[in-house]
């Protein structure tokens, strides 16, 4: 039977819970297939609930063993229970104690939600609705309770027993069993509950908070991998210090534990005092992790830690408010990384991600507001829109009201809403107060989906010497939202004359001060700025620093872009100029125009010789990906044409820049011990980008250099980059390198994931066969999310020509895999399936094939609710 997603849940139907849970005592007796869970709930009616309402608790896949009320066992007739709930029709009016015993099977739990096994360990994942898979409960984020958790297990199987909060008791029991009792004094919703049992190695460090609290920090990993957790520990300490300094936030328990597991649906989870991580975001060593991996470890460690205040101390009233914790916490981790590394490079990378993920989501059938107003499967709303666009809104708020009012607003938020389950309105009210400003128009960023377009029109009158700049905004329709209202769009701007000098922004405008500082707010549909006294039309640099998540139209002209590439003092827009020039050239090639790109190559050559920031230069030499091109084109996409045009541009530039690129290689040969710091990483990035571009221009030379680089590489960054270049040039060199790489790292699953991914992205016809073979490889498994994503996710997102193959072979293998994954792990299947969301932007033949592929998924009779939700919305 099909498992249809439940009826939509709507924000407007929110009602507070009918009951409150003051405290929870949990007793776990861990067993591989029959874990016994006893829960003792102190309940009472919520004065804000409906009077006389029954008590209804959520459940999912539980075996109910017994129930008692105020110490008296309840007969089977005294309650109702179905697959998804437990109901007491007439609970006592006064406070009461309800005890429920359930059995769960962690080994059979392949969804990785609830209590499950990863390797030989027990772990939990409760966000969003996994706690109901452990015991019957009010599984909603506004039901806050204090938890005490007692865990028993075989000491030999699970010497380590962890839960939230501080350890209060531990000891031996008979028959080789032992126990530990944990108590978390901070009221929390059940999605923040966690438990770990197993046998793990660890590293620990002492940390003293600014007010003198001594905290023991520990990271638990597979035995033998302890040294690979050092960088994560270092990042954790820096994140804790930074949150004290930048946001005045201190840690609040005596211990902070992080556990790395290898089977995890997402990146990591912020459970109070016991973060559980996908080991990909904990483990790093020079031999196994790239610079990008190090940066990701740092960011995710910080992100989860920052949730302790933005998410845990202040949580969400309901799941519609998810961005309240996620958007804000992403903003916080972005700021942290910007302070630890290069702010400009961090911003560029964040915007690349935003465009690649969120802009695409916003332009397709899965578009939804940052705060959605309805959902059928909440698991499907952990999206780029909620996370990345949610962070952009917080960033714009800072820009709009200024850093000082922003900081005061955050302070109000932390003080006023501590210990509560809050809403987006609560959050905004703090800034309306600190900035003494109405934020109701700004709030539309939360409720209105779609990427706004800012249309730019310029005019220069040589007679009057007036330059006028007209900016108009519009937001395209999205599912369920035909009409859009104007937003408040902060736009940072500058003007440059022909010699590249930055011009003073003098106007007679009523808001001349604001304009003079290069920051305006576009809040109406159209606004015109007039700059008198300009002898010639200047080049306009708009949305500097990417001041708003918007699209500019029409594209800036070539002469202006070349000028900005040479002179813009905003690094983001300087980088943007390189990207826009590449886009212009590629799309001209797609239209069949002959291009030499001399001026572009000269511009890049000058940038290479003048720049003293290798990481930035590397980004300027990294041209829009095929996925970027597809997004920019937006309709009638032919991935083969985009691939060919992009390749031709790289060939041209690789050839034209040969001398400069060769100099980079000479200059940046790696010496000394590996260090993951941003400056060293920047030098490696530039070296590797230069090598790759050189190889695009001269295949023979490229192969030779890449092979040498691969053989000489002493760290994973260089090793993998060289392999990536070889993957593109092909031939024996490539196959030998892949074979050697496998032999060397066969035992290391995170590295083998890279081996799978890179092969999946080779843009050649033979890759389809290769991916089919890899699906049958002895190391492949659909049950491990990292592995499944490494092969299938990389194929779908990183190999447009093969995924969208004209004969439908890419869709066929992908959809087969999604259908096989779905019964085991619906969340994973649903997320993978989102790769097909842009099917309507393809040219007609592929569009038809992609639609058929989606329909094939939708037609599976036993499809999960999560996957059904994605398939249905994608096709709507
Ligand atoms: N809350 C986690 C985070 O972003 C993400 C997550 C969601 C993890 C759901 C697991 C399940 O930090
Ligand atoms: Zn988060």
Reported as a single tens digit per residue, the pLDDT across 383-435 is: 999 999 999 999 999 999 999 999 999 999 999 999 999 999 999 999 999 99
Same domain for 591 and 536 = no
> How far is ligand 2, taken at its centre, from the CA of residue 742, in Å?
33
Tokens standing for residue 96: 């009461």
Decide which of 525, 551, 577 is a domain's last residue: 551
* Per-chain residues with Cβ under 5 A from ion ligand 2: 326, 329
Ligand in nearest proximity to the CA of 328: 2
Separation CA 356–CA 333 (nearest Å):
19
DSSP 658-679: HHHHHHHHHHT---SS---SHH
Separation CA 577–CA 587 (nearest Å):
15
Same domain for 14 and 84 = yes
Separation CA 621–CA 603 (nearest Å):
11
Tokens standing for residue 109: 């739990």
Regarding the beta carbon of 692 and ligand 1, being less than 6 Å apart is answered no
Reported as a single tens digit per residue, the pLDDT across 785-826 is: 999 999 999 999 999 999 999 999 999 999 999 999 999 999
For residue 670, pLDDT beyond 90: no
Same domain for 608 and 562 = yes
If pLDDT is split at 50, 70 and 90, which confidence band does 669 have?
confident
443 within a domain of the structure (yes/no): yes
Please count the other Cβ atoms lying within 10 Å of the Cβ belonging to residue 655. Answer: 15
Q: Calculate the CA 433 to chain-centre distance.
A: 31
Decide which of 145, 168, 199 is a domain's last residue: 199
Burial class (CB within 10 angstroms; exposed 0-12, middle 13-18, buried 19+) of 252:
middle
Regarding the beta carbon of 597 and ligand 1, being less than 6 Å apart is answered no
540 within a domain of the structure (yes/no): yes
501 within a domain of the structure (yes/no): yes
Same domain for 185 and 49 = yes
185 within a domain of the structure (yes/no): yes
Same domain for 496 and 461 = yes
What CATH number is associated with residue 421? 1.10.390.10
Same domain for 758 and 647 = no
For residues 482-494, average pLDDT: 98
Sign of CA dihedral 687, 688, 694, 695: positive
Tokens standing for residue 125: 């994942």
For residue 86, pLDDT beyond 60: yes
Tokens standing for residue 745: 């790292």
Separation CA 859–CA 669 (nearest Å):
55
Which residue, judged by its Cα, is nearest atom 11 of ligand 1?
Answer: 127
Same domain for 175 and 150 = yes
Same domain for 658 and 516 = no
CB 170 within 8 A of CB 182: no
282 within a domain of the structure (yes/no): no
Regarding the beta carbon of 388 and ligand 1, being less than 6 Å apart is answered no
Q: Which residues are catalytic?
A: 304
Separation CA 529–CA 706 (nearest Å):
51
Separation CA 682–CA 696 (nearest Å):
21
What CATH number is associated with residue 103? 2.60.40.1730
Counting residues of the chain whose pLDDT is more than 70, the rounded percentage is 99
Which residue, judged by its Cα, is nearest atom 7 of ligand 1?
Answer: 127
Q: Find the length of the chain.
A: 876
CB 665 within 8 A of CB 705: yes
Same domain for 546 and 428 = no
Paired with 255 in beta bridges are: 216
The whole-chain average pLDDT of the chain stands at 97
> How far is ligand 1, taken at its centre, from the CA of residue 269, in Å?
5
256 within a domain of the structure (yes/no): no
Q: Mapping DSSP to helix (H, G, I), strand (E, B) and coil, where does residue 520 land?
A: strand
* CA distances, 738 to each of 715, 723, 770 (Å): 16, 7, 12
* Strands (E) located in 3-144: 9-10, 19-29, 35-45, 55-58, 63-69, 72-73, 80-82, 85-88, 96-104, 114-118, 121-125
For residue 1, pLDDT beyond 50: no
If pLDDT is split at 50, 70 and 90, which confidence band does 2 have?
very low
For residue 837, pLDDT beyond 70: yes
Same domain for 510 and 478 = yes
402 within a domain of the structure (yes/no): yes
CB 270 within 8 A of CB 277: no
For residues 7-21, average pLDDT: 97
Regarding the beta carbon of 429 and ligand 1, being less than 6 Å apart is answered no
Separation CA 821–CA 791 (nearest Å):
13
> How far is ligand 1, taken at its centre, from the CA of residue 326, in Å?
9
Backbone angles phi, psi at 555, to 5 degrees: -60, 145
Separation CA 797–CA 107 (nearest Å):
31
Same domain for 510 and 565 = no
Regarding the beta carbon of 715 and ligand 1, being less than 6 Å apart is answered no
Ligand 1 atom showing the smallest separation from residue 265 Cα: 10
Ligand in nearest proximity to the CA of 277: 1
Reported as a single tens digit per residue, the pLDDT across 297-310 is: 999 999 999 999 99
Separation CA 645–CA 588 (nearest Å):
9
What CATH number is associated with residue 874? 1.25.50.10
Separation CA 151–CA 66 (nearest Å):
19
Q: Which domain holds residue 418?
A: 315-447
If pLDDT is split at 50, 70 and 90, which confidence band does 672 have?
confident
pLDDT value at position 5? Answer: 66
**Counted domains in the chain:** 5
If pLDDT is split at 50, 70 and 90, which confidence band does 589 have?
very high
Sign of CA dihedral 697, 698, 701, 703: positive
Reported as a single tens digit per residue, the pLDDT across 730-757 is: 999 999 999 999 999 999 999 999 999 9
Ligand 1 atom showing the smallest separation from residue 128 Cα: 9
CA angle 555, 559, 563 (to 5 degrees): 105
Regarding the beta carbon of 270 and ligand 1, being less than 6 Å apart is answered yes
Reported as a single tens digit per residue, the pLDDT across 761-777 is: 999 999 999 999 999 99
Reported as a single tens digit per residue, the pLDDT across 528-562 is: 999 999 999 999 999 999 999 999 999 999 999 99
CB 217 within 8 A of CB 236: yes
Decide which of 199, 216, 234 is a domain's last residue: 199
If pLDDT is split at 50, 70 and 90, which confidence band does 3 have?
low
CA angle 34, 37, 38 (to 5 degrees): 145
Reported as a single tens digit per residue, the pLDDT across 687-727 is: 999 999 999 999 999 999 999 999 999 999 999 999 999 99
Same domain for 643 and 541 = no
For residues 82-93, average pLDDT: 94
């Amino acid at each position: 039977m099909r498992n249809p997603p439940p009826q939509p849940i709507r924000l407007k139907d929110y009602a507070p819970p009918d009951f409150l849970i003051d405290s929870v005592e949990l007793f776990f007796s861990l067993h591989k297939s029959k874990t016994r869970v006893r829960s003792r709930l102190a309940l009472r009616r919520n004065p804000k609930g409906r009077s006389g309402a029954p008590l209804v608790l959520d459940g999912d896949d539980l075996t109910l063993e017994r129930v008692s009320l105020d110490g008296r066992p309840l007969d089977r007739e005294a309650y109702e229970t179905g697959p998804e709930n437990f109901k007491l029709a007439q609970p006592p009016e006064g406070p009461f104690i309800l005890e429920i015993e359930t059995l769960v099977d962690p080994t059979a739990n392949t969804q990785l939600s609830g209590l499950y096994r990863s390797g030989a360990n027990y772990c939990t994942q409760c966000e969003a609705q996994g706690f109901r898979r452990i015991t019957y409960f009010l599984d909603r984020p506004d039901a806050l309770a204090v938890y005490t958790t007692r865990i028993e297990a075989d000491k030999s199987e699970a010497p380590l027993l962890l839960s939230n909060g501080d350890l209060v008791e531990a000891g031996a029991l008979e028959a080789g069993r032992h126990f530990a009792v944990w108590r978390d004094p901070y009221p929390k919703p059940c999605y923040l509950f966690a438990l770990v049992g197993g046998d793990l190695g660890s590293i620990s460090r002492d940390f003293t908070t600014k007010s003198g609290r001594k905290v023991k920090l520990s990271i638990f990993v597979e035995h033998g991998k302890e040294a690979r957790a050092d960088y994560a520990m270092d990042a954790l300490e820096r994140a804790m210090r930074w949150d004290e300094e930048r946001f005045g936030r201190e840690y609040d328990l005596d211990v902070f534990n992080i556990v790395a597991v290898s089977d995890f649906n997402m990146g990591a989870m912020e459970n109070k005092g016991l973060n559980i991580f996908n080991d990909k975001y904990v483990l790093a060593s020079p031999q196994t992790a790239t610079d990008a991996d190090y940066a990701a470890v740092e960011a995710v460690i910080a992100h989860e830690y920052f949730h302790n205040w933005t998410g845990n101390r202040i949580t969400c009233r309901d799941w519609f408010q998810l961005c309240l914790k996620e958007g804000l916490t992403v903003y916080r981790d972005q700021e942290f990384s910007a302070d630890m590394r290069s702010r400009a490079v961090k911003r560029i990378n964040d915007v690349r991600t935003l465009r690649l993920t969120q802009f695409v989501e916003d332009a397709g059938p899965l578009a939804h507001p940052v705060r959605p107003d309805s959902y059928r499967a909440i698991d499907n709303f952990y999206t780029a829109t909620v996370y990345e666009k949610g962070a952009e809104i917080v960033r714009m708020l800072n820009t709009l009201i200024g850093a000082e009012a922003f900081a005061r607003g955050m302070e109000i938020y932390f003080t006023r809403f501590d210990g509560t389950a809050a809403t987006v309105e609560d959050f905004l009210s703090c800034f309306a107060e600190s900035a003494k400003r109405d934020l109701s128009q700004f709030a539309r960023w939360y409720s209105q989906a779609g990427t706004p377009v800012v249309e730019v029109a310029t005019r220069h009158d040589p007679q009057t010497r007036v330059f006028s700049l007209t900016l108009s905004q519009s937001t395209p329709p999205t599912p369920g939202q035909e009409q859009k209202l104007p937003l408040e769009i902060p736009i940072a701007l500058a003007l440059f004359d022909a010699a590249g000098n930055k011009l003073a922004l003098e106007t007679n405008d009523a808001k001349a001060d604001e304009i003079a500082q290069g920051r305006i707010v576009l809040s109406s549909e159209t606004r015109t700025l007039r700059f008198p006294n300009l002898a010639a039309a200047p080049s306009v640099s708009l949305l500097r620093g990417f001041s708003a998540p918007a699209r500019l139209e029409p594209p800036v002209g070539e002469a202006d872009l070349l000028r900005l590439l040479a002179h813009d003092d905003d690094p983001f827009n300087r980088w943007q100029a390189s990207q826009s020039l590449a886009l212009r050239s590629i799309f001209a090639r797609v239209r069949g125009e002959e291009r030499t790109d001399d001026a572009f190559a000269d511009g890049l050559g000058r940038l290479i010789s003048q720049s003293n920031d290798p990481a930035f230069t590397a980004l300027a030499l990294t041209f829009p990906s095929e996925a970027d091109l597809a997004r920019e084109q937006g309709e009638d996409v032919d991935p083969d044409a985009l691939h060919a045009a992009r390749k031709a541009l790289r060939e041209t530039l690789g050839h034209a820049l040969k001398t400069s690129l060769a100099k980079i290689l000479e200059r940046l040969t790696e010496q000394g011990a590996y260090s993951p710091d941003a400056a060293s990483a920047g030098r490696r990035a530039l070296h590797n980008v230069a090598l790759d571009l050189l190889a695009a221009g001269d295949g023979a030379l490229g192969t030779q250099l890449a092979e040498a680089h691969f053989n000489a590489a002493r760290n994973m960054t260089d090793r993998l980059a060289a392999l990536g270049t070889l993957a593109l040039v092909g031939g024996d060199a490539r196959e030998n390198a892949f074979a050697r790489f496998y032999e060397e790292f066969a035992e290391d699953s995170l590295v083998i994931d890279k081996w799978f991914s890179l092969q999946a992205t080779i843009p050649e016809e033979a890759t389809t066969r290769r991916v089919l073979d890899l699906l049958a490889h002895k190391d492949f498994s659909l049950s491990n999310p990292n592995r499944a994503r490494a092969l299938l996710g990389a194929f779908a997102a990183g190999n447009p020509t093969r995924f969208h193959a004209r004969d439908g072979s890419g869709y066929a293998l992908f959809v087969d895999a999604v259908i096989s994954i779905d019964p085991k792990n619906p969340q994973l299947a649903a997320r993978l399936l989102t790769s097909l969301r842009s099917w309507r932007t393809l040219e007609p033949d592929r569009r038809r094939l992609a639609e058929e592929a989606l329909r094939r998924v939708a037609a599976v009779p036993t499809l999960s609710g999560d996957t059904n939700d994605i398939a249905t919305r994608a096709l709507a």
